[in-house]
Chain A
Amino acid sequence: MKESEGRSPLDTALRAMAEDEAQLGASAGIEARLLAEIRSIAAARRRRIAIAVCAAAAVVLFALWIGSQGFPPARSSETRVAEVTTEFMPLVYSSVPSTNLQVVRLAVPRTALVSFGLTPPEPLERASADTVLADVLVGDDGLARAVRFVRPAADQEQMP
């Protein structure tokens, strides 16, 4: 085999080998499998979002339903500078273990506050007249474990 100009015999031989292998590649089925995996991941993601939305809706319903248990209002020891919160009040799934709890803040109907035996403050603005803020503890399985209500700083002066 003749060597190319300016190349060593080894370079020429390696180049010949590389050219010989240029058409090699993975089987066609591999790409199809990977594309199927993309669709599967997308479908799983859509399912997770749907579960999260359902869980948020369920939290509001639980909050309304559980009102009959009458949890007393209390000032939180971990009160933030700008707001006052109640203690976390357990919900139906509070006994289900979870390793990764997250706090999700929602606006819930004022009636939810009443159903927990709490006195709703007078709203400062008409826009917030129908809702109050709540922090919901949600596990990585989407189940709500507990809820607490939040009084924003601006509302505090109006509370008795």
Chain B
Amino acid sequence: MNEVEDAQLLERSRRGEESAFSELYRRHQAGIYRYAVHMCGAGAGDDVVQETFLAVLRQRGRTDAPRQTVAGYLFGIARHVVLQRLGSKYEPVTDSGDDHVSEVASGALTALDNLTRAETIAAVRAAVQSLPPVYREAVVLCDLQEMEYAAAAGVLQCPIGTVRSRLSRARALLVTKLSAAQSTAVARRR
């Protein structure tokens, strides 16, 4: 996605140009929708997308460029909406240096060969959904949305090292949960 074009679309959208707004919306709504669904559940996707883009429309007087990418800027607004919805469910964690633990845990999952694609997707989805929100959003942004660490740090308003740490911890938790899911599937087939 062309960042220059995105910035122009944002500027024109703020001036009330319908065609520019439609294009900006089509480029980014799906990612924001999926982020919202992972964070707040399927029922929240439409609402979060609507509130995010309404916020853009209500900033019509603004002419300054976002400090980050347009995608990062939109995700930042969406995250604000999501955090309001989550309220106390979003508990900040102490990002201690547990990379060593994460690396050890990552080695525990050798393969998911015993699962079909559908089973794998269902198992991963359940595992992601069971993560604490603070770790879940790191996985959603970096692994599912394929956002760069720097961009994710901008959205999460934390240092890049914190993003790495949360992602590492999240992946360790996912490996643990998926290993258990694989064992259950194997036992069921015997």
Interface residues of A (CB under 8 A from B): 1-3, 8-14, 16-18, 20-22, 24-27, 29-31, 33-35, 37-39, 41-42, 45
Contact = CB atoms under 8 A, between A and B. Distances in A.
B16 A9 contact: no
Nearest to A24: B34
Contacts of A38: 16, 18, 21, 57
Contact of A20 (B50, B57, B121, B178): B121
A-B pairs with lowest CB-CB distance, top 5: A25-B30, A26-B49, A1-B120, A13-B124, A17-B124
A16 B57 CA distance: 35
B112 A12 contact: yes
Given A10-B174, A13-B178, A26 B33 contact: yes
B46 A26 contact: yes
A14 B144 contact: yes
B34 A42 contact: no
By secondary structure, the B interface counts as helix
Contacts of B16: 38, 41-42, 45
B49 A10 contact: no
Contacts of A39: 18
A30 B46 contact: yes
A118 to B, nearest CB: 39
B124 A14 contact: yes
Interface stretch (B83-91, B103-111, B153-161): B103-111
B62 interface: no
A108 to B, nearest CB: 30
A38 to B, nearest CB: 6
